[in-house]
Amino acid sequence: MSRGPDAATLLERALLAAAEAAGCPVAVVASDWTRWASATFTGARHSLTLTAAASPRLDCWLAGLSEVEFAFRNYLLADLVITRMSREGDRVTVALEALTVEER
């Protein structure tokens, strides 16, 4: 029996949908994750790279991104931070790191 999409897939889908809803579509150009565990939680650490057309809407979306609460089935998004951002011409590239935790 399948549990459905993993946390990495759900995170990517949520980011794409949120950007689209904000009027600044993005593309995921790189994505990786590793399992993570503490004494009380299990989950994954995610690294993603997004690219998009430069725009005021993108700037606004990125400014509030770490405060957005994404709802995933079976997972919680515990942390999301922008670690690097670069602008080259009319394109913006953003590196993100996130931590998801499995719900029990």
CB atoms within 10 A of CB 23: 12
* Residues facing 81 on adjacent strands: 97
20: which 2 tokens? 């689209």
7: which 2 tokens? 């946390």
Give residue 2's pLDDT.
52
Q: Where are the alpha helices (DSSP H) in the chain?
A: 7-21, 56-64
For the beta sheet containing 71-72, the strands, ordered from the edge strand earlier in sequence to the opposite edge, are 26-37, 42-53, 91-102, 75-88, 71-72
Per-residue pLDDT tens digits of the chain, which is 104 residues long: 456 789 999 999 999 999 999 999 999 999 999 999 999 999 999 999 999 999 999 999 999 998 888 888 889 999 999 999 999 999 999 999 999 999 87
